[in-house]
Amino acid sequence: MPKRSSEQPLPEPTADALRTARLAAELTQAQAAELVHLSSQTRWAEYENGTRNIDLARWELFLIKTKQRKPN
């Protein structure tokens, strides 16, 4: 049986949460986009201004790569 993580389920991030996490990682929008394999900074900006929602897998990848969440 797989080991269950003790972490809480990842909530859907708000635009403010995205911006706060990016700034905590000391990244520009372009650097954040590149880190999670987006083709341009524009998409990350859309996440931060609330016109698009980031998918949870990409959000979790960002948090793991910036050491703001432990991998499962």
With respect to residue 9, please indicate whether it lies within any of the assigned structural domains: no
- Give me the pLDDT at residue 65, please: 96
Is 46 inside any structural domain?
Answer: yes
> Hey, how many other C-beta atoms are within 10 angstroms of the C-beta on 61?
17
Taking residues 30-53, report their average pLDDT.
96
Instruction: Copy the structure tokens of residue 4.
Output: 């269950």
Report yes or no on 10 lying in a domain: no
- The Cα 62–Cα 29 span in angstroms is 12
Domain that holds residue 57: 15-65
Residue 5 has pLDDT above 70, yes or no: no
Q: Is residue 52 part of a domain?
A: yes
pLDDT bucket at 8, cuts 50 / 70 / 90: confident
What pLDDT does 68 receive? 94
Which whole number is the average pLDDT over 23-38? Answer: 97
Q: What is the pTM of this model?
A: 0.85
